[in-house]
Amino acid sequence: MAYPVTLIPGDGIGPEITRAMVEVLEATGVEFIWDQQEAGIDALTEFGTPLPEATLESVRKTGVGIKGPTTTPVGTGFRSVNVALRLKLDLYANVRPARSMVGVKSRFSDIDLVIVRENTEDLYAGIEFERGKPATLEVIEHLSRAAGKTISPEAGISIKPFTPAACERIVRFAFEYSRKNKRRKVTAVHKANIMKYTDGLYLEIARAVAQDYPDIEFEDRIVDNMCMQLVQKPELYDVLVLPNLYGDIISDLTAGLIGGLGVAPGANMGDQAALFEAIHGSAPKYAGQDKVNPTALILTGALMLRHLGELAAAEKVETAVADVIREGKTVTYDLAPQIPVGTQAMAQAIAERVQSL
Ligand code: NAD
């Protein structure tokens, strides 16, 4: 059976790492019907929008997409292709595993964490008011009255909405993920001591949802303490579930714990569709140079194989990546600064290893 999958190469380094990922995934023998679609800066030039409707339609139809990074155009009023994709397709859970690999230089060697980040609310919801605009002054006047506190008319304002429904579904997702993937503990991360009506609500709901999963340990941590704990004793943690903004920041921290963005995969999951993408961006300064590390998107491809139920193929890809990186002979500049190979050569080595497994 061939899987229909929407393929969005993106821009910057996106097209070259996407080519690399496709080569490795096809080496597993799993068949795909790639529906290639555009998004990002190049789409903006060609279609007048960085996110054409046809791209969204394709993901709605296939239910599964894999995406290279896209540059956020500055000064167009368009916030981000990724944020728009997550909101329009209701991809409410961002899953970012962080696992140490031998051969990737890092201060730690035993990291095995999964970040589950809420994707649709919080300060990321895009409800913002620009300093000095009439609507902003109106909001300030209203808020000052309602909160009984003076807000300077000079202020810019960002709104942080949390709903019980969104809090519940992300925490439930984290527990279901943990059960399915045999993880032992979920830690809810928050700042409920200060943000009582948003993070406080989130924590209250997390505690209630945890009651339905007595087989999985549950605890909570305040986000600042969590940061310190993660760099001091990461081995104490397993699956972390976080609101949008903390999830964004902490998942870069955990990517740092395993050696950086070049090896960190990710997935955006909803009830109707799943869109897989690495954590890193479009690194425009390296575009078209056949230089950057394809590992993050290749491991993202392995996450997609798991989602499709192709567990043996996913394991082959993960083993092949780990082997090639451990051997250190055909790896990119970030892993072997002395004798690096290019993006496609590394992908080819991984694809050959997949075929030999
Ligand atoms: P970036 O991740 O593109 O690059 C930061 C640095 O990380 C690079 O200069 C490079 O040194 C390193 N790096 C990134 N990917 C690498 C790889 N595969 N191999 C080796 N090294 C790698 O972050 P940025 O410079 O902050 O963002 C550039 C653009 O990407 C921005 O427009 C940003 O909005 C966008 N972005 C897109 C996504 C996405 O599409 N999912 C995610 C983050 C940022």
Q: pLDDT tens for residues 296-315?
A: 999 999 999 999 999 999 99
Q: What is the number of residues in the chain? A: 357
Query: What letter does residue 288 receive in the DSSP assignment?
Result: T
Judge if the beta carbon of residue 277 lies within 6 A of ligand 1. Answer: yes
Position 96 scores a pLDDT of: 96
- In sequence order, the β-bridge partners of residue 198 are none
Position 338 scores a pLDDT of: 84
Judge if the beta carbon of residue 260 lies within 6 A of ligand 1. Answer: no
Of the listed 67, 191, 291, 316, which one is catalytic? 191
191 belongs to the catalytic site: yes
Position 337 scores a pLDDT of: 74
Inter-residue contact 321 to 299 (CB < 8 Å)? yes
State the pairing for strand pair 64-67/2-8: parallel
Judge if the beta carbon of residue 281 lies within 6 A of ligand 1. Answer: yes
248 belongs to the catalytic site: yes
Distance 281 CA to ligand 1 centre (A): 3
Q: How wide is the angle at C-alpha 258 spanned by C-alphas 180 and 87, nearest 5°?
A: 55
Domains of the chain and CATH, by start: 1-91+273-357 (3.40.718.10), 92-121+161-261 (3.40.718.10), 124-159 (no CATH)
Position 356 scores a pLDDT of: 97
Q: pLDDT tens for residues 117-139?
A: 999 999 988 899 999 999 999 99
Q: pLDDT tens for residues 192-244?
A: 999 999 999 999 999 999 999 999 999 999 999 999 999 999 999 999 999 99
- Among 137, 131, 119, 174, smallest CA distance to 156 is for 131
Position 60 scores a pLDDT of: 97
| Sign, CA torsion 320/325/327/331 | positive
Position 126 scores a pLDDT of: 81
The protein residue whose alpha carbon is closest to atom 34 in ligand 1 is 72
Which residue ranges in the chain fall short of pLDDT 50? none
